[in-house]
């Protein structure tokens, strides 16, 4: 008889536990009444989003033949990909040999490839469009 009583007590205790643990489920919000009003955000309460300045990668070049140096349209294209062209004259300090410049540019171009594999093709296409749009055929 004692064994039957403990089974009943366990069942009763389990039932009470299940009831109290599921009690918060009875107080859920009724989503059947959908509101058609749009909530407007108050811009004064939103935090200011400061654009993080991106450090541009540099590709060093000897001449300005195909890069449209100083053209605002082309500057926007290169900025989109995250690089800029820097013209270095022959005797400029910084790189003592052409090999150092080559390996630096190789690293930058490899990084640009992993960002967007078609960056070179897109840049040349956009340069052609910028050249036609602005009439910048000198360089």
Q: In the chain, count H helices and then E strands.
A: 4, 2
Mean per-residue pLDDT of the chain: 78
Local confidence band at 58 (pLDDT 50, 70, 90 cut-offs) = very high
Quick check: is 64 in a domain? Answer: yes
Flag whether 26 is in a domain.
no
Q: Hey, is 111 helix, strand or coil? A: helix
pLDDT at 22 exceeding the cut of 80: no
How many domains, in total, are found in the chain? 1
Question: Which residues of the chain form beta strands (DSSP E)?
Answer: 57-61, 83-87
User: For residue 97, what are the domain limits?
Assistant: 57-134
pTM over 0.75: no
Rounded distance between C-alpha atoms, residue 124 and residue 66, angstroms:
9
For residue 32, tell me if it sits in a domain: no
User: Residue 50: left if φ>0, alpha if ψ -120 to 50, beta else—which one?
Assistant: beta
Report the alpha-carbon distance of residue 113 to residue 25 in Å, rounded. 53
């Amino acid at each position: 008889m004692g064994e039957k009583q403990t089974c009943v007590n366990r069942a009763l205790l389990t039932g009470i536990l299940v009831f109290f643990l599921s009690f918060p489920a009875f107080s859920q919000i009724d989503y059947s009444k959908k509101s058609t009003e749009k909530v407007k955000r108050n811009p004064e309460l939103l935090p200011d989003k400061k654009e993080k300045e991106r450090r541009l990668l540099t590709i060093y070049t000897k001449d300005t033949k195909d890069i449209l140096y100083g053209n605002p349209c082309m500057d926007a294209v290169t900025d989109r990909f995250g690089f800029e062209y820097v013209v270095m004259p022959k005797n400029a300090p910084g790189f003592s040999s052409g090999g150092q410049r080559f390996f630096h540019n190789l690293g930058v171009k490899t990084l640009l490839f992993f960002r967007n594999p078609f960056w070179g093709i897109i840049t040349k296409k956009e340069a052609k469009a910028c050249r036609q749009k602005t009439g910048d055929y000198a360089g």
